[in-house]
Amino acid sequence: MANKWVYMFSEGNMTMRNLLGGKGANLAEMTSIGLPVPQGFTITTEACTQYYEDGRKINDEIMAQAMEGVKKMEEINGKKFGDLQNPLLVSVRSGARASMPGMMDTILNLGLNDDVVAAMIKGNPDPAFERFVYDSYRRFIQMFSDVVMEVGKKYFEQLIDEMKEKKGVKFDVDLTAADLKELAEQFKAEYKKQLGKDFPSDPVEQLKLAIEAVFRSWDNPRANVYRRDNDIPYSWGTAVNVMPMVFGNLNNESGTGVAFTRDPATGENKLMGEFLINAQGEDVVAGVRTPMPIAQMEKEFPEAYAEFIKVCETLENHYHDMQDMEFTVENKKLYMLQCRNGKRTAPAALKIACDLVDEGHKTPEEAVAMIDPRNLDTLLHPQFDAAALKAATPLGKGLGASPGAACGKVVFTADDAVEWAARGEKVVLVRLETSPEDITGMKAAQGILTVRGGMTSHAAVVARGMGECCVSGCGDINMDEENKKFTLAGKEFHEGDFISIDGTTGNIYDGQIATVDAKIAGEFGRIMAWADEFRRLKVRTNADTPADAKKARELGAEGIGLCRTEHMFFEEDRIAAFREMICSDTVEEREAALEKILPYQQNDFKQLYEALEGCPVTIRFLDPPLHEFVPTTEDEIKKLADAKHKSVEEIKAIINSLHEFNPMMGHRGCRLAVTYPEIAKMQTKAVIRAALEVQKAHADWNVKPEIMIPLVCEVKELKYVKQIVVETADAEIAAAGAKLEYEVGTMIEIPRAALTADEIAKEADFFCFGTNDLTQMTFGFSRDDAGKFLNAYYDTKIFENDPFAKLDQTGVGKLMEMSLKLGKPVNPSLHVGICGEHGGDPSSVEFCHKIGLDYVSCSPFRVPVARLAAAQAAIAEKAAKANCDCKKSVVDDETKEKLKEAAEKAQVLAKDLADASAEVAKAGLAGLKAGIEEAKRAYNENKKN
């Protein structure tokens, strides 16, 4: 059977988003529940994949089916594409599986050319209509040139600006039919000048080029960046929606709007949106004119507004989630052009999820599943200190478009934002308005401040998506982008001046305002409590200091999965002793130096145990190569020389001898303990003494140290170091006359350790995947240098993500699974965790759940993210299982039914067969009898003759 590449809206539904894209599936769903949607068709995401497979060409089969779609669309709508009597104009819109707002392309008013324009005007003598036709025409030429032919919209915008200036008007709407007609001519001339050929007048050719452009836009740079940030696979592709235009720019009885059923910034259950009279498409979002709040639409268009309110209700009850809708009113009549589950800020997501549970739309499990864990990050970032905020007087106010606190130096371009941020500066990007080209700069900034645009402007939508603070539409700012300055309330700001903006209230402040840490409370607390109920995976934290440990506990950590002891050596008073240790000639000298460090380490560990209140604490023994600790300045070298009674030259010689060509694979990890067992001894003493001390003070806690030996690649290595640890520890415990349980485990961070995990598990009480090193060693490149080529790898689609941020499940993940499979049978009590950066990445957490890890460990601020991701993994698994069981039983019933049917049929058949054979036998017998009779007769006859 031939592939089906095209679906009419009436053929689809919301479960088909993989095939039809989100926009297409929802247009079909709205159609099926009777909402007013202009009827068109969707070209599938598979056609997009095919387009790329065919070398970026639309093959004839796809195009033929699209043209059949056009024909059906013409019949449904009673208009004809390119017709001079009753022309059909269409929009050609992108729409991927996951919504990627503003990332890909859309072309409106397609099907216009000089003849169609002339015919339309001839058919309707109203001068206002003529103006509308030319307005649509110039929009079409502009969009087509920009989107399809990539001419660049600036040329056209410049022509519009010149025209407005010439006519002395401020807004596009003030241009007359004649002005717009002239503009359309200028645009076509500009097109020819830029491309050296005429603007295509054949609607079918226009359509084909537009479809191609939408497919192509799947691969544009901003879409690629967006996908990487949002974990959307490149292989998905985008669908294309082709549908009849409805005209918000027809007259003053028409308009276009965008609305959310609930406030996407706060989550409040209140319709929020914006509407522009006599406008089309992007006008609202692009900030061309400042739109009116949706409530005002009630006065202007009471019937359409009333219907819209009903639509909102229908959609929420249907999707059980907050809806983001795009609509147009043409001659007072409402048309729905898009709906989707709306993007929202993290606080809004939490509030909406809780409200939906309370309103009976969702179960707590569903509520937990609907929060994007990546967004929680923003809630954990500092907020403005309430007292400092109260004391400050705002200079001005815009719209609180995306909540949060941002404080930084003013920059004026996206490129500057990227550059300054790369230098470690905190910046606030201030612009007239933002556009999709600004996306990387917006990401690099702490916050975004715009002069123009409403709550649904590009800046607002994108900032909310990124969880970044944004204040939009502060019209009081007098902007001079060219000279990189602006004034607000009489104060002139230049590049580099400090500014603070509050994305919740929209307030703008001069200078820096103090910030405070966030807390988990209210709806956040409610969701997290639910999450904890549903998850199986434990969440620990990577913490080296008591302060970090406390923070992590507040955020819900259930233990420390990684304490890096080396960080403790760097403090002023200890580094000197550690350097003396490094520069020692004998074991005794080394031991003497280590003896000085012991009390410090012991005290550090004690504080950690106290902060953890009896929860498990994993302490990793010294890991980095020694050269990281040596002095670099002449002063320090001199000091060290004096302390060791050596010459400066001797010390320098020692330092030089520590040089390594590839320190990442050098003398580090457990190799240090093998060469200098006294280091491991000292660390063991510190761990055990601290534990004994804390256990004594808190009898109700279960203090059970977990000592982790890093960088093991061979079981004998572990066995050797473990023996040192056990001897030392047991001696300490015996000397104290106390009882204390402890564990000795290892990190799995070298591929050979994973490959020989069955050997290693014999000696290890636990495994912990150090996926930072395991990733470097598996890929064979270092994370410190990967930055040099990763971008080229993204561009060429060799990689879609940074394997250091998102666990490589195919390769590194396979090693992890292998370690579990090999290790667990050998040592059934082996517990297993992960402590690499990946422990706080949602998709990696899901993987860890799937392969059966006991816990993930991540930095303190990622703890809530990991808790939620772990719950979602458990919920998804449960749902998949239920689905599978259900499918199984369906199959069983079906098979049973079929078997029964078949058995019945067989019975009938057998009976028929038996009857038939009886019949045959009877017939045969009769035949035989007749034959005999005949023979007899013949014989007698014969005899007679």
Work out whether 508 is an interface residue with ligand ADP (CB under 6 A): no
Q: Looking at beta carbons only, is 93 or 783 nearer to ligand ADP? A: 93
* Secondary structure (3-state) at 274: strand
Pick out the residues of the known binding site for Mg(2+): 749, 773
Query: Which range binds ligand ADP by CB under 6 A, 100-108, 349-357, 451-459, 585-593?
Result: 100-108
Q: Which does 108 bind (CB under 5 to 8 A by kind): Mg ion, ligand ADP, none?
A: ligand ADP
Query: Which range binds ligand ADP by CB under 6 A, 75-83, 240-248, 422-430, 643-651?
Result: 240-248
Instruction: State the number of CA atoms in the 13 A half-sphere of 776 facing the CB.
Output: 17
Cα–Cα distance for residue pair 814/808, rounded to 1 Å: 9
Report yes or no: 180 and 138 within 8 Å, Cβ to Cβ. Answer: yes
* Secondary structure (3-state) at 787: helix
Which of these, 748, 823, 756, 798, lies nearest to 778 by C-alpha position?
748
Q: Binding Mg ion by CB under 5 A: which of 111, 364, 373, 770?
A: 770
Work out whether 245 is an interface residue with ligand ADP (CB under 6 A): yes
Residues paired with 448 in a beta bridge = 429, 470
Shortest gap between Cβ of 323 and ligand ADP (angstroms)?
14
Work out whether 102 is an interface residue with ligand ADP (CB under 6 A): yes
Cα–Cα distance for residue pair 764/941, rounded to 1 Å: 108
Shortest gap between Cβ of 161 and ligand ADP (angstroms)?
22
Element (H, E) at 154: helix 154-167
Work out whether 246 is an interface residue with ligand ADP (CB under 6 A): yes
DSSP 920: H
Q: Looking at beta carbons only, is 239 or 369 nearer to ligand ADP? A: 239
Is 428 buried (19+), middle (13-18) or exposed (0-12) by CB count in 10 A? buried
Shortest gap between Cβ of 29 and ligand ADP (angstroms)?
16
Which of the residues 107 through 146 are near ligand ADP (CB under 6 A)?
A: 108
Work out whether 256 is an interface residue with ligand ADP (CB under 6 A): yes
Which of the residues 782 through 801 are near ligand ADP (CB under 6 A)?
A: none
Report yes or no: 780 and 759 within 8 Å, Cβ to Cβ. Answer: no
Work out whether 808 is an interface residue with Mg ion (CB under 5 A): no
Shortest gap between Cβ of 369 and ligand ADP (angstroms)?
25
Shortest gap between Cβ of 666 and Mg ion (angstroms)?
13
Report yes or no: 41 and 7 within 8 Å, Cβ to Cβ. Answer: yes
> How many of the chain's residues bind ligand ADP (CB under 6 A)?
18
Element (H, E) at 13: none
Q: Looking at beta carbons only, is 69 or 770 nearer to Mg ion? A: 770
Contacts of 3 (CB under 8 A, 6+ apart): 46, 61
Q: What angle do CA 545, 547, 550 make, to 5 degrees?
A: 110
Q: Among positive and negative, which fits the CA dihedral 275, 280, 286, 288?
A: negative
Q: Binding ligand ADP by CB under 6 A: which of 17, 80, 93, 138?
A: 93
Establish whether 458 is a catalytic residue: yes
Work out whether 710 is an interface residue with ligand ADP (CB under 6 A): no
Work out whether 640 is an interface residue with ligand ADP (CB under 6 A): no
Q: Looking at beta carbons only, is 147 or 411 nearer to Mg ion? A: 147
Q: Looking at beta carbons only, is 326 or 604 nearer to Mg ion? A: 326
Work out whether 749 is an interface residue with Mg ion (CB under 5 A): yes
| CA distances to 345, 346, 364, 766, 868 from 358, in Å | 20, 19, 9, 43, 20
Phi, psi of 400 (to 5 degrees): -75, 85
Q: Looking at beta carbons only, is 461 or 863 nearer to ligand ADP? A: 461
Phi, psi of 487 (to 5 degrees): -120, 145
* Secondary structure (3-state) at 744: strand
Q: Which two tokens stand for residue 193?
A: 């000048």
Q: Which does 770 bind (CB under 5 to 8 A by kind): ligand ADP, Mg ion, none?
A: Mg ion
DSSP 935: H
Q: Looking at beta carbons only, is 223 or 834 nearer to ligand ADP? A: 223
Which of these, 676, 785, 783, lies nearest to 721 by C-alpha position?
676
Q: Looking at beta carbons only, is 284 or 449 nearer to ligand ADP? A: 284
Phi, psi of 805 (to 5 degrees): -100, -40
Cα–Cα distance for residue pair 319/325, rounded to 1 Å: 13
Q: Which does 749 bind (CB under 5 to 8 A by kind): Mg ion, ligand ADP, none?
A: Mg ion
Q: Which two tokens stand for residue 115?
A: 């003849």
Pick out the residues of the known binding site: 564, 620, 749, 770-773
Phi, psi of 530 (to 5 degrees): -60, -45
Which of these, 330, 679, 355, lies nearest to 523 by C-alpha position?
355
Establish whether 835 is a catalytic residue: yes
Q: Which two tokens stand for residue 803?
A: 């394997």
Which of the residues 300 through 339 are near ligand ADP (CB under 6 A)?
A: 326, 328, 337-338
Cα–Cα distance for residue pair 617/534, rounded to 1 Å: 24
Beta strands at 405-411 and 399-402: parallel, antiparallel or unpaired: unpaired
Shortest gap between Cβ of 244 and ligand ADP (angstroms)?
6
Query: Which range binds ligand ADP by CB under 6 A, 102-110, 145-153, 396-404, 649-657?
Result: 102-110
Cα–Cα distance for residue pair 945/934, rounded to 1 Å: 16
Shortest gap between Cβ of 269 and ligand ADP (angstroms)?
24
Q: Looking at beta carbons only, is 23 or 806 nearer to Mg ion? A: 23
Catalytic annotation, pick one of 312, 339, 835, 848 = 835
> Which one-letter amino acid corresponds to residue 173?
V
H helices, E strands: number in the chain: 35, 33
Catalytic annotation, pick one of 458, 831, 838, 849 = 458
Query: Which range binds Mg ion by CB under 5 A, 175-183, 399-407, 492-500, 744-752?
Result: 744-752
Which of the residues 38 through 57 are near ligand ADP (CB under 6 A)?
A: 38
The 358-387 site mask, x for binding Mg ion (CB under 5 A), equals ------------------------------
Q: Which does 102 bind (CB under 5 to 8 A by kind): Mg ion, ligand ADP, none?
A: ligand ADP
Cα–Cα distance for residue pair 52/72, rounded to 1 Å: 27
Query: Which range binds Mg ion by CB under 5 A, 132-140, 691-699, 748-756, 831-839?
Result: 748-756
The 195-234 site mask, x for binding ligand ADP (CB under 6 A), equals ----------------------------------------
Shortest gap between Cβ of 80 and ligand ADP (angstroms)?
17
> Between 522-534 and 346-358, two packed helices, what is the crossing angle to 10 degrees?
70
Which of these, 241, 254, 201, lies nearest to 106 by C-alpha position?
241
Cα–Cα distance for residue pair 490/398, rounded to 1 Å: 16
Residue whose pair of structure tokens reads 């009597």 in the numeric block = 85
Which of these, 281, 112, 109, lies nearest to 199 by C-alpha position?
112
Q: Which does 790 bind (CB under 5 to 8 A by kind): Mg ion, ligand ADP, none?
A: none
Shortest gap between Cβ of 183 and ligand ADP (angstroms)?
20
Element (H, E) at 296: helix 294-300
Cα–Cα distance for residue pair 680/670, rounded to 1 Å: 9
Q: Binding ligand ADP by CB under 6 A: which of 243, 353, 451, 501?
A: 243
Q: Which does 773 bind (CB under 5 to 8 A by kind): ligand ADP, Mg ion, none?
A: Mg ion
Shortest gap between Cβ of 253 and ligand ADP (angstroms)?
15
Work out whether 338 is an interface residue with Mg ion (CB under 5 A): yes
Q: Binding Mg ion by CB under 5 A: which of 416, 773, 808, 846?
A: 773
Q: Looking at beta carbons only, is 703 or 711 nearer to Mg ion? A: 711
Q: Which residues are catalytic?
A: 458, 835
Summarize as ranges the residues that interact with ligand ADP (CB under 6 A). Answer: 38, 91, 93, 101-102, 106, 108, 243-246, 256, 281-282, 326, 328, 337-338
Summarize as ranges the residues that interact with Mg ion (CB under 5 A). Answer: 326, 338, 749, 770, 773
